[in-house]
Structure 1
Amino acid sequence: MDASSRIGRRTLLAVGGALPLAACVGGGGTSGSDPTGSGSGRLSYGDDPSQWAQRQVPEGPSRGTVVVIHGGFWRARYGADLGEPLAQDLTARGWTTLNVEYRRVGNGGGFPQTFDDVHAALELVQGPGPVVTLGHSAGGHLAAWAAGRLRTGEWTGQVEVTHVISQAGVLDLTAAYRAGLGSGAVHDLLGVGPEDPRYDLVDPRRQVPLEVPLWAVHAPDDGQVPISQSVDYVTAATAAGGDAELAEVTGGHFDLIDVDSAAWTRIVQILDGISPA
């Protein structure tokens, strides 16, 4: 990606105070030739047009699977095309990737549909090795939630997350609700305030400690999701005996999904340090 392409993309990402997260629309990826096997291709996990994931398999042995979960404050105007460059880069580095689309607020998502979809997509993971959830912004929330979802008793399955990388994730839904992040995005997602017990099921801050390592990658100059979301989560998780680490980077909110950025290099370094299962 050249400099002019990066500038154009970041301009799109930053447009509009009411659209504070990534502003590319629609589903990404292309249909593949192996929809049911273990090779590359688009996999459906339901009948809705948003219930799919694009799997890419590297040449040679796979290092494990990275499940890419896009952001966009859980809203339908943002789609899995945001995660496609990340998935392509990681596949070239030897990872099997699963770039997940899911129902969002405005196209049938919310509670519990959004969570049901991410859970169902995770159950598509095949093969040995670590299972890493990697999510940006609202996707960072879903990546962290996914690692603890089977403990809640509301979702049952076979695929367990082994590592989490949250890219400027919304890791405290209660604080995000009270701060009005994303023009009320948390209320739009859940339909209720923090006093409702559903927060106990889906708020990562209330689920510490996770049983797996989590890296909270965040920039102090993030103007969309404050770094306090990551700092406070890591503080609470480590105090509870969890394995959580804050990784500060530069570049605001969007460098974390720019594969030519220093922030992305830091994320790749974290993945390089994950040992095969």
Structure 2
Amino acid sequence: MSPVRHSYGPDAHQLGELRVPDGDARGVVVVIHGGFWRAAYDLSLGTPLAVDLTARGWVTWNLEYRRVGNGGGVPATLDDVAAGVDHLATLADDGLVPPGSLDRVVVLGHSAGGHLAAWAGGRGSARVPVTHVVAQAGVLDLDGALRARLGDGAVEAFLGGSGPPDARVDPLQQVPLDVPVWCVHAPDDDTVPIEQSRAYVDRATAVGGTATLVEVTGGHFGVVDVAHDAWARIRGLVEGIR
């Protein structure tokens, strides 16, 4: 279950850590870390989640990507997430991902990673289609987050002057997705308000999407603390996927 790093592009940040469980695999979980898309935060934030899920029978692909400060932002970060998810097909072709694992591809992301997870679930023409999305305290209403200046202007920096967010980058404007989405969020989150998830679920369900709000405790970080009840709820959601 030791991770093996694989590059999906020429940049030093275009890589992921692959973990493969012993025995039969239940599918793949792509873990996308948060940190308001900033270079100061990296895939180590997703490591405990990947370790826990791999121990429970999931192949995990803990994804790194270019971030604001090291070549990221729109569109590079989105390009990386797309390429990183699609690289699973190459890993499968090389025999590094067990046969049949790509029939079930869950994208799990925290905070800005929740934004990227929902975005990945909505992109078309994917070599590796996403089948389920779990957004943990996700930034899902990018326009609202921009107006509220969440993360001290993080959305503006992520957009890089590309103008107001539209359906190419904003999950709220991409609904409904063709896959189920769970938005796991704590009402006491003072970093990314739960209204982000509520707005997403309300709009998605209003237009026929399958989206569920799961309220937990633990503020912004309980959802990525493997010892916290919030993570136990998320683990239960993932283990319930068939």
Give your verdict on TM over 0.5.
yes
Paired letter, 2:204 = A
- Per-residue deviation, 1:192: 3.1
Give the structure-1-normalised TM-score. Answer: 0.81
Paired letter, 1:120 = A
> Pairwise CA RMSD of aligned residues?
1.4
Q: Is the aligned partner of 1:103 residue 2:84?
A: no
Paired letter, 2:129 = E
Q: Is the aligned partner of 1:241 residue 2:208?
A: yes
Q: Is the aligned partner of 1:176 residue 2:145?
A: yes
Superposition pairs for residues 109-148 of structure 1, below 5 Å? Answer: 109-125=72-88, 126=92, 127-128=99-100, 129-148=103-122
User: Cα deviation per residue 1:39-61 (whole Å; 9 max; x = unaligned)?
Assistant: x5211011211110000000000
Q: Is the aligned partner of 1:202 residue 2:169?
A: yes
- Per-residue deviation, 1:268: 0.8
8 Å Cα contact 1:177-1:193 kept in structure 2: no
Structure 2: stretches of 5+ with no match in the other structure: 93-98
Q: Matched residues in 2 for 1:224 and 1:107: separation?
A: 23
Indicate the residue corresponding to 2:159 in structure 1. Answer: 190
- Per-residue deviation, 1:200: 1.7
2:238 alignment partner, SS class:
helix
User: Cα deviation per residue 1:94-140 (whole Å; 9 max; x = unaligned)?
Assistant: 00000000000000001110011111110122342310000000000
2:50 alignment partner, SS class:
helix
Q: Matched residues in 2 for 1:42 and 1:120: separation?
A: 15
8 Å Cα contact 1:144-1:166 kept in structure 2: yes
Q: Matched residues in 1 for 2:163 and 2:150: separation?
A: 14
The farther-off stretch of 130-139 and 185-194 is 185-194
Identity percentage over the alignment? 60
Residues paired across the two proteins, number: 231
Q: Matched residues in 2 for 1:117 and 1:189: separation?
A: 14
Paired letter, 1:138 = A
Paired letter, 2:142 = L
Paired letter, 2:153 = G
User: Cα deviation per residue 1:245-267 (whole Å; 9 max; x = unaligned)?
Assistant: 00000000001110010000000
Q: Which residue among 223, 233, 238 is the counterpart of 1:266? A: 233
Q: Which residue among 35, 41, 44 is the counterpart of 1:81? A: 44
- Per-residue deviation, 1:157: 3.3
8 Å Cα contact 1:225-1:253 kept in structure 2: yes
Paired letter, 2:34 = G
2:166 alignment partner, SS class:
helix
2:209 alignment partner, SS class:
coil
- Per-residue deviation, 1:270: 0.4
- Per-residue deviation, 1:193: 6.6
Indicate the residue corresponding to 1:230 in structure 2. Answer: 197
Q: Matched residues in 1 for 2:163 and 2:155: separation?
A: 10
Q: Matched residues in 1 for 2:190 and 2:172: separation?
A: 21
- Per-residue deviation, 1:158: 1.1
Q: Matched residues in 2 for 1:124 and 1:54: separation?
A: 12
- Per-residue deviation, 1:72: 0.2
Q: Matched residues in 1 for 2:15 and 2:9: separation?
A: 7
- Per-residue deviation, 1:241: 0.1
- Per-residue deviation, 1:194: 5.5
Paired letter, 1:96 = V
Give the structure-2-normalised TM-score. Answer: 0.92
Q: Matched residues in 1 for 2:241 and 2:167: separation?
A: 29
Q: Matched residues in 1 for 2:160 and 2:10: separation?
A: 24
8 Å Cα contact 1:174-1:194 kept in structure 2: no
